[in-house]
Amino acid sequence: MRYSSGMAEERETIFEFVRVGAAVKVTAVDPATGTEATIVGDPAAGEAALRRLARQKLDYVLAKAGR
């Protein structure tokens, strides 16, 4: 899936959703670097909101690493 988070470039992101009890673990992966970021959220928040949060965390991790 291609995702634009308001940054100048558009990056492909792979998302994985895993149900863990009453929560959902969402992992966002940047295939170009292999960098992963994981969040745990409430399934009631909806898939789009969880994707957005996971991607925001991935953007943070990539920026922190200078990638």
Note the pLDDT tens digit of each residue in 9-32.
678 999 999 999 999 999 999 999
3 pLDDT band, cuts 50/70/90, is very low
- pTM beyond 0.85: the answer is no
Beta bridge partners of 24: 19, 41
Cα–Cα distance between 32 and 49 in angstroms, integer? Answer: 23
- Give pLDDT, residue 9: 62
